[in-house]
Amino acid sequence: MSDGIKTNNSSATITNQIASPVLNDGPFVADDDTFDISVRFYRDNKKFVVEGIDEDFKKDASNIKELTLTMKYPSQGDTSLITAQARQMNEKIKVENLNVSDFLQVEVIRFLTQVRKWNRPEPLDNENLMNLSPKIIRVILEKIRIEIGIDGII
């Protein structure tokens, strides 16, 4: 199942022709410039109950799981890739006139592009990422937004 979005874990990524800087104290965003986000959830029968969304989330539930993702801070190259992929999916998307729906779509693309690893045994690929619960995705996007604002979108 292909949705046209490529993570930086795929073979079809933009490569930089300039050598990456050795020290990470300059103006360059390196691959190790990352941050972690976690989402706690459990299932109540077939319903996902997600911390941060569901008021009935029970912090003492015995079946709580935690999804932890490592995200890369976006570089200008990442921003260009995110914007290009957003336009490929929806030609009317332009940074100057994003509506709420467009903005959320670009945020999902940013997430898929910048995620580097997770604490799941399944492969980190588009198919598995796109099969996450929408409620979990909402919390992921919110936590990314809190950490980096609109970096990588504009």
pLDDT in tens, 23-82: 567 898 988 999 999 999 999 999 999 999 999 999 999 999 999 999 999 999 999 998
User: Which of 69, 103, 55, 63 is CA-nearest to residue 83?
Assistant: 103
How far does CA 121 lie from the centroid of its chain?
Answer: 18
The answer to whether the predicted template modeling score (pTM) of the entire model surpasses 0.85 is no
Average pLDDT (141-146) is 95
Q: Are 34 and 28 in contact (CB under 8 A)?
A: no
> For 87-132, how does the pLDDT look when each residue is reduced to its tens digit (9 = 90+)?
887 776 666 667 788 788 889 999 999 999 999 999 999 899 999 9
Buried b (16+ CB within 10 A) or exposed e, 104-133: ebbbbbbbbbbbbebeeeeeeebeebeebb
pLDDT computed for residue 5 by the predictor: 44
